[in-house]
Amino acid sequence: MLLPRPLVIVCLLLGVAPAATAAEARRPNILFILADDLGYSDLGCYGGEIETPNLDALAARGLRFTQFYNTARCWPSRAAFLTGYYAQQVHRDDLPKLGGGNDGTRQKWARLLPDFLKPLGYRSYHSGKWHVDGSPLAGGFDHSFMMQNQGNFFTARGNFVDDVAVTPDADESGYYATTETADYAIDWLKDHAKNHPNQPFFEYVAFIAPHFPLHALPEDIARYRDRYLEGWERMRAERYEHQQAMKLLDTPLSPVEHDLGPPYDFPNVLEGFGPGEVNRPLPWDDLTDEQRRFQATKMAIHAAMVDRMDREIGRIIDQLKAMGAYDDTIIMFAADNGASAELMIRNGGHDKTAEPGSEATYLCLGPGFSNACNTPFRRHKVWVHEGGISTPLIVHWPKGIAAQGELRRTPAHLIDIVPTLLDVLDAEKPTEWNGKPIPPAPGRSLLPAFAADVPIERDSLWWSHNGHRAVRQGDWKLVAARGEPWELYDMRTDRAESNNLAAQQPERVQELETLWNKQQDEMIDLAKQTPKLGRTGAKQKKAKRQQPRSQPAP
C-alpha cells in the first residue's frame, strides 16, 4: 500500500522505515506565530539579550532561516503570508495609478490559507491582529479573536470574537493584550482537542507586540529597566558579537546613519514626548542624561513586550503538549517587518507625567534603538533595505524535521509559506475558484530546506513599498529608498549594505532595474483586471512625506 507523501517525507527525514498504513497516517497540525515590529536580532537565538527561552528552545530543536524576508510593513506582509502572493498582486499594497494598500480588497480568487486547508480536513483558528481585508471568518477561519484595537494594550475595547464585538469588563485592571491573544489561542486549542480530536488544525497567532505604543506590564519592565543605560551602540556591538559567535551571518556591521530619522514627519511629536525624545540615532555620549534615561526606558519597555510574548508562546506550547499535539505540529515563527523608527502619538495622546509603559502613555521605539534591534542591518520598518525586510524564521516539527539547531541560509519570503505547507501536505492548490482561473503564485516550497541546507531555486524576490524599491536575484540585491538612486550590494558578504557597487557595475544595475520594472508591469497588468478593488471607493491617498534627512536633530 502506498503511503501518503507527508509520511514518506517524515520517515526519510528521520531515517526510519515507513511502517504505518495510509489509514493510520494523519496530516500534521500547523501553528504560525507572527510578531509585529520585531527587530531581526531581538530574539536570543538571533543574537539578542532579551529573555526568549521558549523561542530559543524551538530554534535549538528546529531550524533558523538566516535570510528570510517580509514586505517591510504589517498589512502587505499578512497578505503575502496568507495568500502566497505579493501584496500588490492582490490589491494589498500600492501600484502606480491603481491604488491598493490597507484599504484595498483582494480578488475573489485570492483565497486565504484556510480555504486551501479546509478540503484536507483542517479546522482553522485565529487570535490577535488581523489587518487583512474582510473578516477572519469570511477568510475561512472557524474561530477568531480579532484585535482591532491596536492603540491600547490594556483594554478589550474594539475587539471581536467570531466577528461579534467584545463587551469589556467593568474592571480591566488585569487585562493585557499579549496575554489575551494567548488566552484565546489556548481556548481554541482546548476546544479543538475536546470537539475535533480527529482533525488536524491550523492556528494563526498574530501578536501585536512589540508594535507601538510601548505598553508593558510593570513587572516585565522592571526586569529590563536599567539594562540599556549604556546605550544603543553598546547594545548593537554586543548583539553583533553574539551573531558572529553563532555564525549566523557573514557580513560586516552596517554603519550608523546618524542623519536618518523616522520614515514620516510629525512636526509636533518631539514637543509631545518632551525633552527626553530624540529623532536621530545620535552618538549616545552626545545625549543629555535625561535623554539617555528616556531612551533606555523605551528600550526596556520594548524588551518587556518581547519577553512577555515569549512567555505567552510558552503557554501555547504547554497546551500543545497537554493535548498530545506538540510533536506533530509544524510551528513557525516570524515577524511582519523590522523594528520601527516611527515617532508618533495617536489614540488619545501621551501623558508625559504618567509612568512610561502605562495605559496613559503612547511611546514609540524611535530610530536609535530600532537601529540596534535590526542589528546588523541598515534602516527600519517601511524601508526595503535589509533592516526593514529581514525577519527571523524558526521552524520546529519534531516528527517531520530530524535536524536540530541548524541554520538554513537560502533566501526565502513570506510568499513561500503557502506553497511550503501545501507541499508538506502533498496538496495541490486549485487552479480556479468559482469558475475563474487562479493566477500562478510567485512563492516556492521550502520543504527541501527542511531536510538540508540547500538553495531554493527562484528567479528573484521583489519589493515595493511607499516608493522604496528592491529586487534580489541570487546574491545580488538592487535597492533604492524613495527619491534616491539605486544601490547595488553583494549579499554573499555584505547583507549590511555597506559597500554600494552601483558605480562599479552599471550593467548589472541596468539588468536588475529592468527585472524590477518587468515584475511591476506584470503586477499592474494583473491588478488592471479588477481595478475597482484597489481602493474600494476611497480617494487614493498621497504617500506620506518622508522626514527630510537634513532636518536638524534636537
* Length of the chain in terms of residues written: 554
Residue 360 belongs to what H/E stretch?
none
Please tell us whether the domain made up of 5-20+46-456 is placed in CATH 3.40.720.10: yes
How deeply is 397 buried, as exposed, middle or buried, from its count of CB atoms within 10 A (0-12, 13-18, 19+)? buried
**What's the pLDDT tens digit per position in 150-175?**
899 999 999 999 999 999 999 999 99
Q: How far is CA 232 from CA 145, 277, 373, 504, in A?
A: 36, 14, 9, 33
Span between the terminal Cα atoms of the chain, in Å: 73
**What's the pLDDT tens digit per position in 385-395?**
999 999 999 99
Q: Residue 475 is placed in which grid cell?
A: 546574491
**What's the pLDDT tens digit per position in 295-330?**
999 999 999 999 999 999 999 999 999 999 999 999
Q: What is the 3-state secondary structure (H, E, C) of 321-346?
A: HHCCCCCCEEEEEEECCCCCCCCCCC
Query: Helices 417-424 and 74-83 meet at what angle, rounded to 10?
Result: 30
Q: Give dist(CA 262, CA 366) in Å, integer.
A: 7
- Nearest 5°: the CA angle 192, 196, 197 is 90
Residue 125 belongs to what H/E stretch?
strand 123-128
Residue 552 has pLDDT above 90, yes or no: no
Residue range 457-479: mean pLDDT, rounded: 98
Contacts 24+ apart (CB under 8 A), 158-165: 160/135, 162/137, 163/135, 163/136, 163/137
Residue 29 belongs to what H/E stretch?
strand 29-35
8 A C-beta contact, residue 31 and residue 355: no
Mean pLDDT of the chain: 92
pLDDT at 7: 43
Q: Give dist(CA 409, CA 349) in Å, integer.
A: 43
Half-sphere exposure (CA, 13 Å, Cβ side) for 273? 30
| Single-letter code of the amino acid located at 216 | A
Q: Give dist(CA 454, CA 114) in Å, integer.
A: 29
Q: Residue 546 is placed in which grid cell?
A: 518622508
Please provide the DSSP assignment of 434-475 as one string: TTEEPPPP-----HHHHHS--PPP-S-EEEEETTEEEEEETT
pLDDT at 524: 97
Q: Residue 78 is placed in which grid cell?
A: 499578512
Helices (H), 5-85: 5-14, 53-60, 74-83
| Single-letter code of the amino acid located at 241 | E
pLDDT at 541: 44
Residue range 531-551: mean pLDDT, rounded: 50
pLDDT at 308: 98
pLDDT at 26: 82
pLDDT at 542: 42
Q: Report the percent of the chain where pLDDT is more than 70.
A: 92
Q: Give dist(CA 11, CA 5) in Å, integer.
A: 10
8 A C-beta contact, residue 91 and residue 104: yes
Residue 546 has pLDDT above 60, yes or no: no
**What's the pLDDT tens digit per position in 278-294?**
999 999 999 999 999 99
Q: How far is CA 209 from CA 24, 177, 371, 392, in A?
A: 40, 9, 18, 15
Residue 246 has pLDDT above 60, yes or no: yes
Q: Give dist(CA 226, CA 346) in Å, integer.
A: 27
Q: Give dist(CA 200, CA 205) in Å, integer.
A: 16
Q: Give dist(CA 268, CA 258) in Å, integer.
A: 21
pTM (2 d.p.): 0.93
The answer to whether the peptide bond before residue 210 is cis (omega within 30 degrees of 0) is yes
Q: Which of 71, 35, 37 is nearest to 55 (CA)?
A: 35
Report CA 355 to chain centroid distance, whole Å. 29
**What's the pLDDT tens digit per position in 471-519?**
999 999 999 999 999 999 999 999 999 999 999 999 999 999 999 999 9
Residue range 390-410: mean pLDDT, rounded: 98
- Which residue in the block uniquely carries the three cell numbers 505567552? 312
Indicate the pLDDT class of residue 544, thresholds 50, 70 and 90: very low
